[in-house]
Amino acid sequence: MKQCHSIRVRMQLSVLSVTGLILASVIFWSYLAARQRLEADMEARAISLAENAAKQIDAQFGLLQGVVNGMALTLEAQDFLMPFDAVRRMQTRSIEKNPGIFGVCVAIEPGEEPEGWMDLAAYEYREGDRLAYVDLAGENHAHTHEDWFTLPKHLDRPVWSEPYEWEGLLMVTYSVPLFRGSGDQRRFIGVITCDLSLDWLDRMIAELPLGENGYGLLMSRNGTYISHPDPNIVLNETVFSIAEARNDPALRLTGQQMVSGVPGIVPFSSFVTGEISWLAYTPLQSADWIMAALISRDEMQAAILQLSRRQAAIGAMGMLLLCLAVGGIARSITRPIRDLRDAAETLAAGDLEASLPPPRGQDEVAVLTQRFAEMRDNLKRHIEDLRETTAARERMHSELRIAHDIQMGLVPKTFPPVPMRKDLDLFAAIEPAREVGGDFYDFFLLDDKRMVVAIGDVSGKGVPAALFMAVTRSFLRSAFRSDADPAEVMSHVNNELVDGNDSCMFVTLFCAVYDLRDGSLKYANAGHNPPLIQHPEGHQEWITKPSGTVAGVMEDSPYTAGETSLPEGAVLVLYTDGVTEAMNPDEALYDESRLAARLVKSGCTGSCREMTEDLVDDIRSFADGAEQSDDITILMLKRLVAKSAEDPSPKPTPAPCHRFRFENRMEALEQAMNDGDSFLESYEVSPTLAYFVRLTLEELATNIIKYGYDDQEPHAIEGILELGQPATLILTDDGHPFNPLTEAPTPTLEGEVEDRPIGGLGLHMIQEMGMQLAYRREHDRNILRVVFPESVWPDFPTDSEP
Amino acid sequence: MKFTNTKQSDVMLVAIGGRLDGSGAPEVEAHCRGLLERGDVRQVLDLAEVEYISSAGLRSLLVVAKQIKSAGGVLALCCLSPMVREVMSISGFDKILTLTSDRETALAQFTP
């Protein structure tokens, strides 16, 4: 699946990832904000709960305080002149009316008892559902030693006692001092006390909405717990004793802050639940107590977490909806693109009839689709055009093929042409260029002693050239039937060609009559490339003269015949300009010098077929892949030594021969010398001959390299070493003319060492050692032939004696 | 080219191996000049391992001989193979260079 790369998926992924990121940030930010707000709420709530509870307690206490203060005022106002049973009735009434009051006691300082009062400490209290009465004074006025009596007396103000437990009930006593008289006469009479049961306090505090793990507590000014969820520490422990026991300085500090009388809120680690909480505290107005409310922070966190979870769930749901929406939108946007892609695939596969999706609207895809349709139509038209052109070219090609077939059908291709003639070797080849050219060659026996060879090159290419060539060949053959003189034949052919040559074509033509008996050659040339005779000794002869104008242009052009002869072993080489004008990729021409050098290299040792093929190979490797622009046509004729059946004198085995060629550099000479050594070693010649050959080669070639050239171009030096009778070495070079036999200075051999000039020595040496030198200049080449002294000629069985 | 230098009293004996041709001759020339510059003005060249000498080799021996002579020293050649000896005599070098058959005779050239 390559779906993950489609536009649709990319669109979905990018939209969703961006919105997902935004959503996540919003949720996170709202979590932080909610958390902050909730924390503030919680703190405020804790504080207000503590304050409310304090107010509630204050209200309750205030009510009861009012009852007691009222009773005290009543007594003082009547100056204690009320009868004792009236006091008792007041007691009873106040208990009955106020369910928070457990008991009421009116205690009188001994000696101050009003008249008619029977008991000094009249105490009425609840016992079950009814009221009970007891006199707390007894015989020895025990009540005067109680805190609830002495504290108001000495402090001269109402006093709340520390909470205490009485008969299993948590109690607290409110004592109001009673005075008689005013001003200086004012004196302490006794106290009126009211015992309050604190059960309702616990209930009220327990009902405070402080959450599952929150709780309220009440503590006295000295830190004693009055109300606490753990009943074991109520009245038994103070916050400071717990801090001591736990060695908890933080708790002690908290305790100090709480009893300082200032409301506040502190973070607090509950020693009951162990949770991190807030502790809000506030002192009561009525009693010297502190109300505290504790709210669990973890609970709050849970609440926040729940809130965030809800938000996340809503967000996820939103994302899901967004996914679906984006998916739908992306699908609808990309559908035309996908349709177009499918159509384009079909198009790309070559089906140009494939229908494109109908364009919808004017958007980019619609425009793209229209352009695609135009492209397809153009492509169709183009292919149709191409088909027609190809068909036309195919027709032309087949015509050219026919022309080529004509060309190749007209040239003889049977080799050897005269198998019974052992003194003749002949081979010819046409390498046609891509386009058909007008090259041709021909050969046929005039009679049993003479053979005609011809080569020609018609101007232009293609079918006209092929036809012109066919005509030329016919004229040539028919002309030779009536006349054997090449010049006459050439004139005849020329006139025939001029007659009716409306297209002004022409042909370069060389024809020769070769006499098989003595190798004489009579020829005529109509503007054709000069043929060449390769002699077995290595030198070459160019047949440049006489030469007439090209045939087919001007009536009665004069042609003269030339004569030469082919010695035994020599090769006549005919070729067209396809050989000398073959180009390599750098557009350099193969030219006559390369042709000549190649023929020197192959020598006259091989058959004409081998030599021709070798030459064609060399031209091909020179061209190095460059396209062949013209036909390459070569014809070679070699005169062999006649072997007659009547004279079976055996042909001597050819002497071992080493042909070599090297560049005009000392390193190349060194290599050539070593190659020569290897050749001589393989024939096990005498060390003296080996020395002579090496020395001769070094001295002569060094001279050529050092003094033969005026330019810096590379030149080829060619050599033939033949171990026959005599043993010879031939060196040829294309340096400037230099005959070492006449032009070299004679070295001075006399005189002292320091006076002797250096140079001119090598030539003198090899001549002194017996080497005979012969110099000649031929075809712009120096040819030096060295005959080694007879004493060192190798003695090979070159003549097989019967 | 192979060179083996042996000092015998104040004479430097150099055994040369290889072909004294166009490429070997400059090496011999450079080697002997190097010895001369170090102060070896009396040199014997042992040519027993030299099987080939061309005019280039002869020239370099001539150059060496000239340099040693102008430095006031003496050069002797010994142990020439027959072909080399032949070349020397054909070229007339046997008359201008001191040639001896063995090392002892060559060394004796330096004793007054």
Task: Find the closest chain B residue to A670 by CA distance.
Answer: B23
Which residue from A752, A758, A764 is facing B63, i.e. has the nearest CB?
A: A758
Residue A320 in any domain: the answer is: no
**A105, two tokens:** 């006691």
A391 Cβ partners below 8 Å, 6+ apart? none
Tell whether A430 and A398 lie within a shared domain.
no
| Count of structural domains, chain A | 4
pLDDT band at residue B91 under the 50/70/90 scheme = confident
Residue A17 in any domain: the answer is: no
Chosen for mutation from B27, B29, B55, B90 (greatest number of chain A CBs closer than 10 Å) is: B55
Task: Find the closest chain B residue to A697 by CA distance.
Answer: B54
Tell whether A100 and A172 lie within a shared domain.
yes
**A157, two tokens:** 């103000």
Residue A42 in any domain: the answer is: yes
Residue A685 in any domain: the answer is: yes
Torsion-angle region of A303 (φ positive above 0: left; ψ -120 to 50: alpha; else: beta): alpha
So what's the pLDDT on residue A11? 84
pLDDT band at residue B14 under the 50/70/90 scheme = very high
Domain coordinates in residue numbering, chain B: 2-108
- Could you give the count of Cα atoms lying within 13 Å of A621 in the half-sphere of its Cβ? 7
Query: Of A395, A410, A425, which residue is a domain's last?
Result: A410
Tell whether A40 and A144 lie within a shared domain.
yes
So what's the pLDDT on residue A20? 87
Residue A22 in any domain: the answer is: no
Q: Report the percent of chain B where pLDDT is more than 90.
A: 27
Measure in Å the smallest separation between the Cα of A657 and chain B Cα atoms: 24
A4 Cβ partners below 8 Å, 6+ apart? none
CATH number of the B2-108 domain: 3.30.750.24
Q: Is B30 on the interface with A (CB under 8 A)?
A: no
Chosen for mutation from A698, A766, A767, A792 (greatest number of chain B CBs closer than 10 Å) is: A698
Tell whether A384 and A436 lie within a shared domain.
no
CATH, residue A535:
3.60.40.10
Tell whether A452 and A471 lie within a shared domain.
yes
Chain A residues within 8 A of B54 when measuring between CB atoms: 694-695, 698-699, 762
Q: Is A204 on the interface with B (CB under 8 A)?
A: no
Backbone angles phi, psi at A711, to 5 degrees: -105, 180
Residue A753 in any domain: the answer is: yes
Tell whether A373 and A493 lie within a shared domain.
no
Query: Of A605, A639, A673, which residue is a domain's last?
Result: A639
Tell whether A382 and A528 lie within a shared domain.
no
Q: Which of B30, B48, B56 is nearest to B106 (CA)?
A: B48
B25 Cβ partners below 8 Å, 6+ apart? B54, B56, B57, B59, B60
Question: What is the value of ipTM here, to two decimals?
Answer: 0.90
Q: Which domain holds residue A781?
A: 657-792
Backbone angles phi, psi at A133, to 5 degrees: -135, 140
Measure in Å the smallest separation between the Cα of B46 and chain A Cα atoms: 20
Residue A648 in any domain: the answer is: no
Q: Read off the pLDDT of each residue in B60-73 and give the average, rounded to a whole number.
A: 89
Q: Read off the pLDDT of each residue in B81-96 and give the average, rounded to a whole number.
A: 87
Contact status, residue A369 vs residue A428, Cβ threshold 8 Å: no
Tell whether A405 and A420 lie within a shared domain.
no
Distances (CA, A) of B38 to A424, B12, B45: 71, 11, 16
Name the residue type at position A392.
A
Buried b (16+ CB within 10 A) or exposed e, B36-56: beeebbbbbbbbeebbbbbbb
Ranges of residues in chain A whose predicted pLDDT is under 70: 1-5, 271-273, 434-436, 642-654, 744-760, 796-802
Tell whether A135 and A198 lie within a shared domain.
yes
Name the residue type at position A341.
R
Q: Is B48 on the interface with A (CB under 8 A)?
A: no
A507-515 and A450-458: which strand pairing?
antiparallel
**Dist. CA A63–CA A58, nearest whole Å:** 8
Contact status, residue A506 vs residue A553, Cβ threshold 8 Å: yes
**A373, two tokens:** 């349709």
CATH, residue A236:
3.30.450.20
Q: Is the peptide bond before A726 cis (omega within 30 degrees of 0)?
A: yes
Q: Is B50 on the interface with A (CB under 8 A)?
A: no
Measure in Å the smallest separation between the Cα of A671 and chain B Cα atoms: 11
B74-78 and B98-100: which strand pairing?
parallel
Tell whether A450 and A481 lie within a shared domain.
yes
Q: Is A770 on the interface with B (CB under 8 A)?
A: no
Q: Is A702 on the interface with B (CB under 8 A)?
A: yes
Query: Of A298, A314, A330, which residue is a domain's last?
Result: A314
So what's the pLDDT on residue B31? 93
Q: Read off the pLDDT of each residue in B71-84 and give the average, rounded to a whole number.
A: 89
Q: Is A317 helix (H, G, I), strand (E, B) or coil?
A: helix
Contact status, residue A704 vs residue A781, Cβ threshold 8 Å: no
Which residue from B23, B54, B66 is facing A695, i.e. has the nearest CB?
A: B54
Tell whether A398 and A502 lie within a shared domain.
no
Residue A83 in any domain: the answer is: yes
So what's the pLDDT on residue A1? 43
Measure in Å the smallest separation between the Cα of B92 and chain A Cα atoms: 6
Q: Can you tell me which residue has the tokens 């046609």?
A: A432
Tell whether A279 and A380 lie within a shared domain.
no
Residue A374 DSSP class:
H
Measure in Å the smallest separation between the Cα of B45 and chain A Cα atoms: 17
